[in-house]
Amino acid sequence: MLPDHVDVAVVGGGQAGLATAFYLQRAGLTPGRDLVVLDAADRPGGAWPRTWQGLRLFSPAGFSSLPGWMMPPWDDATRGYPPRDHVVDYLTRYEERYDLRVQRPHRVTAVTRADDDPDGRLLVHTDHHLVTARAVVSATGTWERPFWPRYPGMADFAGRLLHAAGYSTPGDFAGQHVVVVGGGNSAAQVLAEVSTVATTTWVTARTPRFLPDDVDGRVLFATARARIEALEQGREHAGVGGLGDIVMVASVKDARERGVLEARAMFAALDNGGVVWADGTRQDCDAVIWCTGFRPALQHLRPLGLRTHDGRIPVGGPSGTAALAEPRLHLVGYGDWTGPASATLAGVGPSARATAAILTGR
Ligand code: FAD
């Protein structure tokens, strides 16, 4: 049963929504009475159950934890990089452990203002219910808005075009030639597994940056934080890599040993049967997999009229998450613009804590 009136409504029950609900509960709000978490999916885990089956985290379990409870260890021949299902299991148990009472499936279709009073209530509309709230935390992630760059000839291509968000297993591509687009961890991991059953061409907009074999996501998080702090203080910062740099998980190392980690510069266009390089030569292919990132899923906030041209809502205040033009709304977990490394398991905690502190005054 959904409550009709709550103090805080959290939209999205993935890791960002759970971490925020954890701190709101710790500050005294009771889930199901003062606090409601609404999630559009029909099962726990946020985006993780929808990622491809072979996905590995880029940091070990002990460095991929939400506030309060460490992710249980994962130890196998992969040096401890947990698979997707380990994360789904962790998030499922996390919300049970803290009795966060996530309401699903309930898609929030719109958030609106009850009236012109800036201290009035916000209305959270779902398909079948209306919940009123003193404040709303949006934690809807990016998975539902895959980013596709536009290239000439895309509409003419007779093969299969898919985004990493629609990729599941390499078996679908057995015996084919596949072009993988993108220079980050997703592209490297997809390329690594597809190349075990298909021939591949890897293309990237910039030269891919590989981390040394003994460096993993822990170092990336620390570096990302240090870089943002340095920027805020107007200092230069030169550290080991950024969050987009490629972590040498076992499958990617194996791909390197097989000689498939050789990237080419982006193609200029597609045609009916493949991709066309800048010099006019071409490569036949059966499929192009775009590992080209995501944009924030903020469609439900459109009625508030807060969007700017780059698809983001300006945020700030002491938590760094309050919408500047609508302080009753907070955005958690979308990327560095809503908090350093906040779009990661280990990085979302500080934004969630700061948001809960502002909303509860505790
Ligand atoms: P999500 O997990 O997307 O959860 C958002 C939830 O909101 C979903 O359950 C969705 O159903 C719900 N929702 C959306 N819209 C609505 C709506 N209108 N109404 C109600 N509910 C809604 N991070 C790491 O720390 N380590 C990694 O190794 C790592 N690897 C990654 C690999 C890939 C391929 C990707 C894409 C990301 C990776 N990340 C990693 C980054 C990050 O941890 C994930 O993107 C994470 O899923 C973000 O969590 P979230 O809670 O913000 O969003």
- 232 pLDDT exceeds 80? no
Q: What is the pLDDT of residue 307?
A: 75
For residues 57 and 137, state if they share a domain. Answer: yes
Does residue 36 sit in the same domain as residue 108?
Answer: yes
The CB of 304 under 6 Å from ligand 1? The reply is no
* Residue 245 Cβ contacting ligand 1 at under 6 Å: no
pLDDT value for 217? 63
Residue 228 has a pLDDT of: 57
**Residue at 81 is within a domain:** yes
Judge whether residue 230 has pLDDT over 90.
Answer: no
**Alpha helices (runs of H) in 48-103, residue ranges in sequence order:** 84-97
| Cα–Cα distance measured from residue 23 to residue 237, given in angstroms and rounded to the nearest whole number | 32
Q: Ligand 1: which of 78, 91, 143, 144 to mutate, most ligand atoms within 8 Å of CB?
A: 143
Question: Residue 10: what pLDDT?
Answer: 98
**227 within domain boundaries:** no
Which atom of ligand 1 is nearest to 144's Cα? 14
231 pLDDT above the threshold of 70: no
223 pLDDT more than 80: no
Task: Please give the mean pLDDT across all residues of the chain.
Answer: 92
**Mean pLDDT for the stretch of residues 80-89:** 92
Domain holding 56: CATH number? Answer: 3.50.50.60
Check whether residue 184 and residue 303 sit in a common domain.
no
d(CA 257, ligand 1 centre) in Å: 31
Q: How many domains is the chain partitioned into structurally?
A: 2
- Residue 180 clears pLDDT 60, i.e. is over it: yes
pLDDT of residue 75: 74
Q: Could you tell me if 188 and 273 lie in one domain?
A: yes
The answer, yes or no, to whether residue 169 has pLDDT greater than 70, is: yes
Q: Is 61 left (phi over 0), alpha (psi -120 to 50) or beta?
A: alpha
- Distance between CA 16 and CA 36 in Å, rounded? 14
Whether 281 is in a domain gets the answer yes
Judge whether residue 252 has pLDDT over 90.
Answer: yes
Q: Which residue shows structure tokens 């925020």?
A: 20
Q: Is residue 226 part of a domain?
A: no
Q: State residue 214's pLDDT score.
A: 81
pLDDT at 241: 53
Same domain, 128 and 159: no
Does 50 lie in the same domain as 34?
Answer: yes
pLDDT of residue 221: 65
Whether the per-residue pLDDT at 182 is higher than 80: the answer is: yes
Most confident range (mean pLDDT) of 51-60, 238-247, 275-284 is 275-284
Is the minimum distance from the CB of 139 to ligand 1 under 6 angstroms? yes
Range of the domain at 129: 5-144+294-360
Distances (CA, A) of 276 to 154, 179, 284: 11, 12, 9
Residue 180: strand pairing partners: 202, 289
